[in-house]
Amino acid sequence: MPAAKKSKPEIVKVKLGKRSYDIVIGENLLADAGKRIAKLRPGTAVAIVTDGNVAHHHLATLERSLDAAKISYRSVLLSAGEGTKNYSSLETVAEAIIQSRIERGDLVIALGGGVIGDLAGFAASVVRRGVDFVQIPTTLLAQVDSSVGGKTGINSPQGKNLIGAFHQPALVLADLSTLDTLPAREFRAGYAEVAKYGLINDAKFFDWLEKNWRSVFAGGAARAKAVATSCKAKAAIVGRDERESGERALLNLGHTFGHALEAATGYSDRLLHGEGVALGMVLAFKLSAKLKFCKSLDATRVVRHLENAGLPVRLSQIPGSLPGPDGLLSLMAQDKKVVRGKLVFILAKGIGKAFIAKNVDTNIVREVLKDALAE
């Protein structure tokens, strides 16, 4: 019997002039990564940044691929988890890249989820005043969101992603087969970012997700479609607004609330980033409904879908205690979207109708948080 024909990867272009790059989406891309990298940058050397969990599953495959392409490399292993995205790890990665004798014409490879991508990308942006890097995202959240668009950075004790830089990757390889090794909770957390694209500006995609989310979780063609649709949506927005001076802010739907919740839980396993985004989107739609921007039925629909997918939709689902409304508002005040001391929210006029809202009454936000904490 002849071997099954390998399906052709889908390529999404992020159009940024001379800094344009491809997002390659498909199965088993890791095994061919060396060939693609050698074609992208002939004669390059690379520094691989990854964490222990990802290394266990995928590092050997990548290293074999680089060996086959005759690319020299050094691997830097970090601890897994959001707590790694800090000053100390930045120093570790930057020094390891320098010790690897990576030159400005060489590459850094970020092999892992959003934490590794953000950290490795930020280190690449500052070492030797800028080294190119390749994103190989191994989580759903990273494949559809954090690996695309050039946002890199680390967390401050005062807030999430407050230290960073825009540094676009030279290539993104979204290997769908790596998602098969994800814990179920991590996959669900990433799904929140998939649903986000429907809620921002694609009501038909959200309709499709409501009917097909189980197939997305199961893998195959539905998963590939969900990842590709999400990447196309983000690529289009980034191409029009690279540095978030306008439209790109819509991608932060749920993040103002979510980042405050992550800070309140100490960037720990109590609340994964995607879970914070899910809760944040619920709160954003509840705030939108309270302000009469959308119907309460829209907020109910968001809650129902995220809950069906296994994501938290009530603050009481976060283990441990949380600050009160004023405590959460104080954490939100450190958000990067604050403009002249006033919070900027991404709200919605309905499913697929997100917009940027300035000068939202803090008292109404406090009421929404108070109600949510009481549920």
Active site residue 234: yes
Active site residue 375: no
Among 58, 196, 234, 305, the active-site one is 234
Active site residue 244: yes
Active site residue 259: yes
* Helix, coil or strand: residue 112: strand
Residue 363 neighbours by CB distance under 10 Å:
7
Residue whose token pair is 């954003």 = 284
Among 58, 160, 232, 273, the active-site one is 273
CB 281 within 8 A of CB 196: yes
Strand 354-357, strand 345-348: pairing: antiparallel
Among 85, 188, 196, 248, the active-site one is 248
Q: In what order do the strands lie in the sheet with 171-175?
A: 10-14, 21-26, 171-175, 132-137, 107-112, 46-51, 73-78
Q: CA-based angle 86:81:209, to the nearest 5? A: 120
* Helix, coil or strand: residue 194: helix
Active site residue 292: no
Among 259, 286, 305, 336, the active-site one is 259
Active site residue 255: yes
Active site residue 248: yes
Among 223, 252, 275, 286, the active-site one is 252
Among 58, 223, 255, 336, the active-site one is 255
Alpha-carbon span 155 to 81, nearest angstrom: 12
Active site residue 57: no
Among 27, 244, 262, 275, the active-site one is 244
Among 193, 242, 262, 275, the active-site one is 193
Specify which residues 152 forms β-bridges with: 165
Active site residue 167: no
Structure tokens at 317: 């689902």
Among 36, 41, 58, 151, the active-site one is 151
Active site residue 214: no
Q: Which residues are catalytic?
A: 129, 151, 193, 234, 244, 248, 252, 255, 259, 273
